[in-house]
Amino acid sequence: MIITRKNDFGLSYNHFFQGRWWGGVGTKLQQNTELDLDYRLQMGLAAGYDIVHTNPVRFYAMGGVLVNREKPTDSVDFSTNFEGIVSMKLIWLQYRRPEINISTNIDFY
């Protein structure tokens, strides 16, 4: 019998400045034995611009920096990586019928 584990936990804080600009910080902890990952700790800092921000639709571009610390399950050593990220995200929410909840994004590291 093969037992696998996949756990994800994240916290983030965003601050919206006057106009369409915003900034944020976040952290994420991941575990995935299928990917031979004992743990991954990720922390980041980002800034973004809302291209479209209406009640049902939000479309934004974001850029930032990340620090990753990973430990594989088959090793006692860990690795630390510094990465840049550029991202675009579209969110469409509608609560009346038909209810719609669509979210898609593209990330470049």
Mind listing the pLDDT tens digit for each residue in 42-62? 999 999 999 999 989 999 999
Q: Which domain holds residue 55?
A: 6-108
Does residue 50 fall inside a structural domain? yes
Split into its structural domains, the chain has a count of 1
Does residue 23 fall inside a structural domain? yes
Does residue 83 fall inside a structural domain? yes
pLDDT at 75: 85
Convert the pLDDT of each residue in 73-108 to its tens digit: 888 899 999 999 999 999 999 988 889 899 999 999
Measure the CA–CA gap between 62 and 49, rounded to whole angstroms: 6
Measure the CA–CA gap between 67 and 46, rounded to whole angstroms: 12
Does residue 15 fall inside a structural domain? yes
Does residue 64 fall inside a structural domain? yes
Does residue 1 fall inside a structural domain? no
